[in-house]
Amino acid sequence: MMRRVVHVVVRLAGWLLTPLVLIVAAFLGATVVAMVAPVLSTTLAVALVALAGLASAAVGLWLWIRLLRGSPVLQEALAVTPEGVPLESEVDAILGTAEQPGAP
């Protein structure tokens, strides 16, 4: 039973890596620009921080998807497709909705 719980937790954590990578990338991009923004006007600084966060999230997503597509081992470990979408069979297995043999 404990092995099953660990398996579920690891898979769920793997599926949450994509949004986590984007959040971290956006935060880092916005933080770097926010450190130099005080020398600018307030309106321009806010706009630049928002744009930097968006741009770094986009770059982070692009790099993450490239990593997933280039690594079948990572895809298998995280049970995701090359696009980062969880495999249906794994979702069904974790939720316990997989078809039972001989079930109507």
Residue-wise DSSP of 7-26: HHHHHHHHHTHHHHHHHHHH
What average pLDDT does the segment 3-24 reach? 78
Q: Which of 73, 69, 63, 67 is nearest to 83 (CA)?
A: 69
The 3-state DSSP class for residue 81 equals coil
Residue 9 lies in a domain: yes
Residue 52 lies in a domain: yes
Instruction: Identify the pLDDT of residue 99.
Output: 55
What average pLDDT does the segment 2-20 reach? 75
Contact 66, 85 (CB under 8 A): no
Domain assignment of residue 81, given as a range: 2-95
Say which range, 15-24, 44-53, 61-70, 81-90, has the weakest mean pLDDT.
Answer: 81-90
The 3-state DSSP class for residue 52 equals helix
Number of domains comprising the chain = 1
Residue 100 lies in a domain: no
Residue 102 lies in a domain: no
Q: Is the confidence at residue 98, as pLDDT, over 90?
A: no
Residue 101 lies in a domain: no
Model confidence at 58, in pLDDT bands (50, 70, 90)?
A: very high
Q: Is the confidence at residue 103, as pLDDT, over 60?
A: no
In this prediction the pTM is 0.69
